[in-house]
Chains A and B, each alone.
Chain A
Amino acid sequence: MGFLTKDGLKMGKTLGNTIDPFALVKQYGSDAVRYFFLKEIEFGRDGDFSESRFVEILNADLANSLGNLLNRSLGMIFKYCDGKVPNRGYDLSNSCNQMVEQVRQSYANLAFQQVCQAVLAVVREGNKLIDDRAPWKLFKAGAQEEVEQILYSILEAMRLVSLCLYPITPNLSTKIIEQLNLSPHSTWECQWGILVPGTELPKPQPVFERIEVKP
């Protein structure tokens, strides 16, 4: 996607000689720009910007880790739980309590990078929970209650993840919360177990589209 400039540097075509914030936000959206700069550069220190790194971070963190976790969980809920919030589980509740506390302190210290890292740690744990416990196998084996508890845990963790990220990625967080059939974040509702079992969920929609780099 780059082209050669008179300096012989390869540059993204949106960016010109310096990063044009208008072009960047129009091409990638506000959440992407907000997330990248707060996650990638420790606030208070110098950092680097490159468009390739920008795309890489957004795809890895928001599209792949976070977006996929929500999407695959909702997919399974439609397959195994009739598209409704399953029975309560507590698999990620300790991790989420820690995340929420860490995030609260990090915001107060302007440590936005730590906010993102704490959130990503829970997202990774959620993905690992699904990989390790393989709800599709449990379902076949008739362990319905276990399937429900795992999937509830993921959804509730996603609710808290979206709360923690809301100040940084308000649109993404709002899309996540809509997928959970809840109203947009307006208070710091950080305790585990807000989702009510039996609540109908809307059809899964991707919350963050992967950025495709044109060759």
Chain B
Amino acid sequence: MKSVALTTPLYYVNDLPHMGSAYPTIAADALARFYRLQGIPTLFVTGCDEHGQKIQQAAAKFNRTPQEHCDLMVRGFEELWNLLDIKYDRFVRTNDPRHQPIVTEFFQKVYDRGDIYQGQQQGWYCVACEEFKEERELLEDKRCPIHPTVTCEWRDETNYFFRLSNYQSQLEELYRTRPDFILPLSRRNEVLSFVEQGLRDFSISRYTPWGFPVPIDRQQTLYVWFDALLGYLTGLVAPEEEPTLANALKTWYPINLHIIGKDILRFHAVYWPAMLMSAGLPLPDRVFGHGFFNQRWTENG
């Protein structure tokens, strides 16, 4: 191996880090330290995902501006990583002005490919997931199955869509020819069965102010996941370099490993490779989905 670029998720800053954010970060740090010991040039990227309506709501709850809220939460992440001896090389913040030109450039590539179109979107929206839900998935009173305390909102919007459906067969080909693209096996199977049901285009814009404007329509902002995934590319640009896609791709790309939680598997193992295919970029080597832990207190606890 000539070099290794690995990432943790870019953690959502609606709240301070929890053990579920510390866990993959510890694993990524251990791995980065191992590769450095082996003498292999290593880039360890972590960071925070700062856009979206959920952040706005969290900020409002504490009477902060979104920016103040993000700054405060980011300090919490940095403090915890310091306490845990996490030696990352890059800390990406998705509302960093350096991120925007890369997002815009990437968007243009996908747009030029003909994979972005305007469409109508109606449905139940979970703000906690930042995702539309199928009506049949919802619990009683339109509550989200993943966030049972959150009541989904009815949305009827004109949004921009990404033609995920164009990539159905290319993704299936990817999973077939590179069986270790998604690990462990249980996660791979999860993705295969999701993709098998048929991929639907997803909307990549919202009418919320806290985000980057859609380059072709300033009325809307980019969907938080679209720009969050691109944060991995911004993380590859050296701090002293101009933030361009070319600079992101020249040294550390493609990324060797994305360590993620199983809750964000679909975004990394389906949406992300499809976006990269659309932009004509090589894919990461591997997406590894870790598990969760139950907390259990025993008599001796």
Q: Does B bind A?
A: yes
Question: Contact residues of A with B, CB < 8 Å?
Answer: 1-2, 9-12, 15, 18-22, 24-26, 30, 33-34, 37-38, 41, 43-53, 104, 107, 110, 112, 163, 166-168, 170-171, 185-188
Interface residues of B in 84-140 (CB under 8 A from A): 84-85
Min CB gap A183→B, angstroms: 14
Give the nearest-CB partner of B30 in chain A.
A167
Given contacts A10-B297, A37-B26, A187-B37, contact A24 B19 (CB under 8 A): yes
Cross-chain pair count, CB within 8 angstroms: 133
Q: Pick the contact of A41 from B79, B259, B293, B301 — CB < 8 Å?
A: B293
Q: Pick the contact of B27 from A11, A12, A22, A38 — CB < 8 Å?
A: A38
**Distance of A45 Cα from B187 Cα, bound (Å):** 10
Asked whether B38 lies within 8 Å of A49 as measured between CB atoms, the reply is no
Q: Is B217 an interface residue (CB 8 A)?
A: no
Given contacts A38-B27, A170-B85, contact A188 B22 (CB under 8 A): no
Given contacts A50-B301, A52-B298, A167-B30, contact A110 B288 (CB under 8 A): yes
**Distance of A50 Cα from B39 Cα, bound (Å):** 37
Contacts of A9 in B (CB 8 A): 297
Min CB gap A26→B, angstroms: 7
Q: How many residues of B contact A (CB 8 A)?
A: 42
Asked whether B83 lies within 8 Å of A22 as measured between CB atoms, the reply is yes
Asked whether B288 lies within 8 Å of A38 as measured between CB atoms, the reply is no
Contacts of A171 in B (CB 8 A): 85
Asked whether B183 lies within 8 Å of A112 as measured between CB atoms, the reply is no
**Distance of A45 Cα from B293 Cα, bound (Å):** 9
Contacts of A34 in B (CB 8 A): 26, 29-30, 84-85
Contacts of B85 in A (CB 8 A): 30, 34, 170-171
Report B14-44 CB contacts with A as 1/0, cut-off 8 Å: 0011110111001101111110011100000
Q: Is B294 an interface residue (CB 8 A)?
A: yes
Contacts of B301 in A (CB 8 A): 1-2, 10-12, 50-52
Min CB gap B214→A, angstroms: 36
Q: Is B289 an interface residue (CB 8 A)?
A: yes
Report B160-191 CB contacts with A as 1/0, cut-off 8 Å: 00000000000000000000000110110000
**Distance of A21 Cα from B86 Cα, bound (Å):** 13
Asked whether B297 lies within 8 Å of A51 as measured between CB atoms, the reply is yes
Asked whether B33 lies within 8 Å of A19 as measured between CB atoms, the reply is no
**Distance of A121 Cα from B11 Cα, bound (Å):** 36
Contacts of A1 in B (CB 8 A): 301
Q: Is B296 an interface residue (CB 8 A)?
A: yes
Asked whether B37 lies within 8 Å of A21 as measured between CB atoms, the reply is no
Q: Pick the contact of B26 from A38, A44, A166 — CB < 8 Å?
A: A38
Please name the 7 residue pairs, one residue from A and one from B, whose CB atoms are nearest each other, closest first. A167-B33, A46-B291, A44-B184, A19-B19, A167-B30, A167-B34, A21-B22
Q: Is B197 an interface residue (CB 8 A)?
A: no
Min CB gap A33→B, angstroms: 7
**Distance of A187 Cα from B37 Cα, bound (Å):** 5
Known: A45-B186, A166-B33, A186-B37. 19 other contacts (CB 8 A): A2-B297, A12-B297, A18-B18, A22-B16, A34-B26, A34-B30, A37-B22, A41-B291, A43-B291, A44-B187, A44-B290, A49-B295, A50-B296, A52-B301, A110-B288, A167-B34, A167-B37, A170-B85, A188-B39
Give the nearest-CB partner of B16 in chain A.
A22
